[in-house]
Structure 1
Amino acid sequence: MPRLMLSDDQYERISPFLPGKDSDPGRTAADNRLFVEAVLWIARTGSPWRDLPPDFGLWNSVYKRFARWSRAEIWHSVFAELAGDADFEEIFIDSTIVRVHQHAAGAPKKTGDQSIGRSRGGLTTKIHALVDGLGMLARFSLTGGQKSDTREALPLLGELKPSSLAADKAYDTNVILQYLESVGIQAVIPSKENRREQRPLDKHLYASRNLIERFFCRIKQFRRVATRFDKLSKRFASFVALAAAFVWLC
């Protein structure tokens, strides 16, 4: 049997959020835990679905079930439930680039934008992340790699009103700064060199921005997140949500 990732306590924590419980309508799932372990194996190793060890069941059945759960946003629901414990006293926003494998290109145009862009590194996807004061992912979004970081900052922030928001100087824009000031959020963002009036920076708070960099390192230990193999952004986002949920469980 391949190496499994979930302890009994970890699975018990997420099992109430999975479909197929006795209290749910329809057929009761008998192998939810094995199925989740199968998807975690794919996420961790980055292997093609056809290489899934037979101990997890037929690869095609596991893949189709993963696709159904992705369409139903089950993985996002599990992540959202765990992220409900986030500490929003301080938050950090940044993005990371993910290289897109050649097998991920070429999704039918009828399926819409797949968050794949062309930048200096070739085909890339950008994960925009908001982490809490403990360095745990609370919210994320996907765009093409060429898209600006600043456009995703305020949508990620949403209705949150933390005491401070820390980000690098790429987020030093008048739109972001004016919004943060209007709602009473301290902007811990270095001034760009071309800004006429250099704003004061709380260096102690800014030093904690390494939390989001450390989170990106943790989530990219899942090879299916470190490199994008999925044509559809919804499938890739499901792997990001699953990996982030596992980090919450650890």
Structure 2
Amino acid sequence: MTKRYELRDDQWEKIKDLLPGRDAHVGRTSRDNRLFVNAVLYRYRSGVPWRDLPERFGDFRVVHTRHSRWSRSGVWKHIFQVLAQDAGNEYAMIDSTIVRAHQHSAGAKKGAAAHAIGRSRGGLSAKIHATVDALGNPTGFHLTPGQAHDLEGADVLLPQTQGEPMIADRAYDAQERVITPLENANKGIVIPSTRSRKQVRDYDHHIYQARHLIENFFAKLKQYRAIATRYDKTACNFLGGIHLAAAAIWLI
């Protein structure tokens, strides 16, 4: 019987061969991969501190150290990217969401800004930039301090996005950074014009209604309590948790 927040057998079958330590894989074997993945999922879904992980997952320090190692080496990102290959590219959406950073998330080496934590009127925060496909499934992420403009995410994510037309709110109506690159790539543009634009650009209002799908995705992502509130000190670990949660959403 599957315990709460853990992967079902069919979900595990889809990712087990993507992990280090699998059979016939060069390097150290890891027969407890499933237990470890479930431990990290449990932590991010429930929001408990690492030291409060249930005893069945073993020493929390080992789990945390291994999560940090897999985040740095890109294991979580690789799992997510493999699952995201099934994205529906009828159209794509981009947006961002702000998450409050817990006071304990500050203090990592190199400073808060280097780890995508900023201070604004609401306190410490981070901003998750994301793209989703035509079904609202995630296809890419970028992390910045909370006060960063949405266009910082667009600079990174738009060149990587396959779907078209591109749907976004008017915060992305920037001629040089968004509109011109999309036009040069012959992609449709479903972005309302800003009020300051002298020549209003027409867009498909019917397709624009699908933009709620990316908001729905952010709602799913924030069901993971350690993502809705950021506790991780480093951007690497936090982004690793986001990639794992996004992979789990693909597996639903």
- State TM-score, norm by structure 2: 0.95
Tell me the distance in 2 between the aligned counterparts of 1:143 and 1:128: 8
Alpha carbons of 1:162 and 1:32: their partners in 2 closer, same or farther (altered >3 Å)? Answer: closer
Amino acid at match of 1:86: A
Q: Which runs of 5+ in 1 are unaligned?
A: none
Matches within 5 A, 1:72-151: 72-109=73-110, 113-151=114-152
AA partner of residue 187 (structure 1): I
Amino acid at match of 2:100: R
1:194 aligns with 2:207: no
State the match for 2:14 in structure 1: 13
**Residue 13 (structure 2) pairs with residue 3 (structure 1):** no
Return structure 1 stretches of 4+ with deviation > 4 angstroms. none
Q: Deviations over 1:85-118 (max 9, x none)?
A: 1122200000000100000001112798101111
Could you report, residue by residue, the CA deviation over 1:54-79 in whole angstroms, capped at 9, with x for unpaired residues? 01111111111111211211111111
Return the match for 2:206 from 199, 204, 228.
204
Q: Paired residue for 1:56?
A: 57
**Relative to structure 2, which stretch is displaced further, 67-76 or 235-244?**
67-76
Compared CA separation, residues 111 and 168, structure 1 to 2 (3 A): closer
Give the secondary-structure state (helix, strand or coil) at the position aligned to 1:21. Answer: coil
Alpha-carbon RMSD across the aligned residues, in angstroms, is: 1.6
Instruction: Give the secondary structure class of the aligned counterpart of 1:209.
Output: helix
Return closer, same or farther for 1:30/1:162 CA change in 2, 3 Å cut-off: closer
Secondary structure of the residue aligned to 1:197 is coil
Question: CA distance change for structure 1 residues 94 and 160 in 2, over 3 Å: closer, same or farther?
Answer: closer
Alignment length (residue pairs): 250
CA displacement 1:13-66 (0-9 Å, x = unmatched): 000101111211233211111111111110101110110110111111111111
Task: Determine the C-alpha separation between the residues in 2 that align with 1:50 and 1:228.
Answer: 16
Q: Distance in 1 between matches of 2:67 and 2:155?
A: 31
Q: 1:119 to 1:8 in 2, by over 3 A?
A: same
The CA deviation string for residues 128-172 of structure 1, in whole angstroms up to 9 with x for no partner, is 001111101101100011111113214202154533001001011
Distance (Å, rounded) in 1 between the aligned partners of 2:27 and 2:113: 32
- 1:166–1:30 CA distance, 2 compared to 1 (3 A): same
1:26/1:44 CA distance change after superposition, 3 Å = same
Note the alpha carbon deviations across 1:193-225, whole angstroms, 9 max, x for none: 121222112111100000000000000000011
Structure 2 residues not aligned, in runs of 5+: none
Conserved in 2, the CA contact under 8 Å of 1:2 and 1:53? no
Q: Which moved more, 1:89-98 or 1:103-112?
A: 103-112
Query: Take 1:160 and 1:45, find their aligned partners in 2: how far apart are those partners?
Result: 31
Structure 1 residues 224-233 or 186-195, which shifts more? 186-195
**Contact persistence 2:106–2:112 (CA under 8 A):** no
Name the residue aligned to 2:216.
214
Cα gap change, 1:4/1:144 in structure 2, threshold over 3 Å: closer, same or farther? Answer: closer
1:170-185 correspondence runs (5 A) = 170-175=171-176, 176-185=178-187
1:180/1:186 contact within 8 Å kept? yes
- 1:241 has 2:246 as partner: no
3-state SS in 2 of match to 1:3:
coil
CA–CA separation in structure 1 for the residues paired with 2:59 and 2:196: 58
Q: Take 1:199 and 1:111, find their aligned partners in 2: how far apart are those partners?
A: 39
| Separation of aligned partners in 2, 1:110 and 1:172 | 32
